[in-house]
């Protein structure tokens, strides 16, 4: 019986392998950059169309999330071609097999949407700023582990050090604390956001000051209200312990292990989406510790009718605020209702609060918006 089972498995594997070998790829396409080595699907066309192919001979229904149902072939492969070009940039997806959502076995695992999922990249024209370049020295992303007494657990920061860091053993560097969004974790900026290549390129061309970038888990991986709990109350505690972790544990850990400048003039913080809200909550309540602030599609809002009282009166004296905060950056995509952030920027300016508004053309609540925001923000800080 065991030999028969092995033979059946071998035949299934061989059939799938032969189908892959004899398959003709759609003209003008290339494997998605997040595929595992050797995987030919999904594929991306020069025109932005996407092509998916999944081997599931016994499945009754297979779908690609956000894209629709696949068609089954006689060879056991399910296929799907997008109806038209997809929006440029990075996008999450899952394979849904008979109602069960899983990451694509042909893709590298990415953490997003509160789970391990897959991603597909539609290349941006003139997107070299987030790609590795020949002749540009590369920085290093390393792990820095520490024990959190606040959460009673071991945690890690991912730390980007510029290419010159090890070549200048006496030099100290300013620090940017960079936060991910809801449903993501400390890996997201490095993987989906390609922040290291953005930093490498900006530093190499002289647009940005060499700096250290710290990425940690904001405790917002998955929004799960307790049974019977008001979602609004749940949101109040969502990532609520992170400010204490950052100020009392992460920053001291970084400053004890890396050659960093430790005054407020050399400390910045930025974040995307819910990480933007965390950035505002932390920095605006601790202006003695931060002098550069960046919100990329930041969640929440600032009541500009209550500027004398919000954030413990941080905006009460515009002149004092402008002297303390050298850059207040507000970025958002043009396709994600930008009027919210644009109006905030305008109202702050009317109140005498200096800020920089940036609108990413043609992008929504997605990593291409946030890559562009990082590209615009970093050259402004520590100058």
pLDDT in tens, 323-339: 999 999 999 999 999 99
Output the DSSP codes for 164-224.
Answer: TGGG-TT--B-EEEEE--TT--TTHHHHTS-HHHHHHHHHHTTSS---EEEE---S-S---
pLDDT in tens, 224-260: 778 877 877 777 778 899 999 999 999 999 999 999 9
Q: Residue 111: name the closest of 160, 180, 157 by CA.
A: 180
The answer to whether residues 157 and 151 touch, using CB atoms and an 8 Å cutoff, is no
Which of 212-221, 235-244, 258-267, 346-355 shows the lowest mean pLDDT across its residues?
235-244
pLDDT in tens, 19-50: 455 678 999 999 999 999 999 999 999 999 99
Residue 66 and residue 89: Cα distance in Å, rounded? 15
Say what the pTM is. 0.91
Break the chain into its structural domains and give their ranges: 28-122, 128-223+232-380
pLDDT in tens, 203-213: 999 999 999 99
The mean per-residue pLDDT over the stretch 212-219 comes to: 97
Residue 66 and residue 168: Cα distance in Å, rounded? 48
Residue range 128-223+232-380, CATH number:
3.40.50.1820
- Specify the pLDDT at position 250: 98
| Residue 136 reports pLDDT greater than 70 | yes
Confidence of residue 301 (pLDDT cuts 50, 70, 90): confident
Q: Do domains 28-122 and 128-223+232-380 have the same CATH topology?
A: no
| Residue 62 reports pLDDT greater than 70 | yes
What does residue 151 show for φ and ψ, rounded to 5 degrees? -105, -5
Which of 149-163, 274-288, 293-307 shows the lowest mean pLDDT across its residues?
293-307
Cβ partners under 8 Å of residue 362, min gap 6: 87, 88, 333, 334, 335
Q: Domain 28-122 maps to which CATH number in 3.40.50.720, 2.60.40.10, 3.30.450.20, 3.30.565.10? A: 2.60.40.10
Confidence of residue 17 (pLDDT cuts 50, 70, 90): very low
pLDDT in tens, 65-115: 999 999 999 999 999 999 999 999 999 999 999 999 999 999 999 999 999
Percent of the chain exceeding pLDDT 90 equals: 86
- Specify the pLDDT at position 328: 98
- Specify the pLDDT at position 159: 98
- Residues β-bridged to residue 145: 156
Cβ partners under 8 Å of residue 363, min gap 6: 87, 88, 89, 333, 334, 335, 336, 369, 372
- Specify the pLDDT at position 22: 62
pLDDT in tens, 150-195: 999 999 999 999 999 999 999 999 999 999 999 999 999 999 999 9
């Amino acid at each position: 019986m065991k030999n028969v089972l092995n033979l059946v498995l071998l035949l299934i594997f061989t059939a799938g392998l032969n189908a892959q070998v004899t398959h003709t790829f759609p003209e003008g396409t290339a494997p998605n950059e997040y595929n595992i080595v050797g995987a030919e699907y999904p594929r991306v066309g020069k025109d932005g169309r996407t092509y998916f192919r999944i081997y599931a001979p016994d499945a009754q229904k297979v779908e690609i999330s956000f894209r629709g149902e696949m068609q089954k072939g006689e060879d056991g492969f399910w296929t799907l071609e997008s109806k038209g070009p997809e929006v440029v940039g990075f996008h999450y997806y899952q394979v849904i097999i008979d109602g069960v959502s899983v990451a694509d076995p042909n893709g590298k695992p990415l953490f997003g949407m509160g789970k391990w999922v897959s991603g597909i990249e539609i290349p941006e024209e003139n997107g070299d700023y987030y790609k590795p370049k020949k002749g540009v020295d590369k920085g290093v992303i390393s792990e820095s582990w520490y024990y959190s007494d606040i959460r009673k657990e071991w945690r890690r920061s991912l730390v980007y050090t510029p290419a010159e860091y090890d070549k200048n053993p006496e030099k100290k560097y300013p620090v940017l604390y960079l936060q991910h969004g809801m449903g993501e974790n400390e890996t997201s900026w490095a993987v989906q956001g390609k922040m290291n290549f953005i930093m490498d390129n900006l530093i190499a061309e002289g647009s940005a000051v060499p700096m250290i970038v710290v990425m940690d888990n904001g405790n917002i991986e998955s929004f799960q209200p307790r049974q019977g709990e008001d979602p609004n109350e749940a949101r109040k505690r969502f990532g609520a312990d992170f400010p204490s972790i950052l100020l009392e544990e992460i920053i001291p850990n970084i400053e004890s292990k890396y050659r960093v400048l430790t005054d407020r003039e050399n400390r910045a913080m930025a974040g995307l989406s819910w990480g933007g809200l965390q950035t505002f909550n932390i920095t605006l309540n601790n202006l003695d510790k931060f002098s550069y602030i960046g919100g990329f599609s930041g969640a929440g809002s600032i009541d500009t009718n209550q500027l004398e009282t919000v954030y413990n009166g941080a905006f009460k004296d515009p002149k004092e605020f402008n002297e303390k905060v050298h850059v207040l950056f507000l970025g958002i995509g043009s396709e994600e209702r930008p009027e919210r952030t644009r109006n905030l920027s305008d109202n702050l300016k009317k109140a005498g609060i200096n800020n920089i508004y940036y609108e990413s053309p043609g992008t929504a609540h997605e990593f291409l918006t946030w890559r562009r925001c990082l590209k615009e923000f970093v050259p402004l800080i520590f100058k």
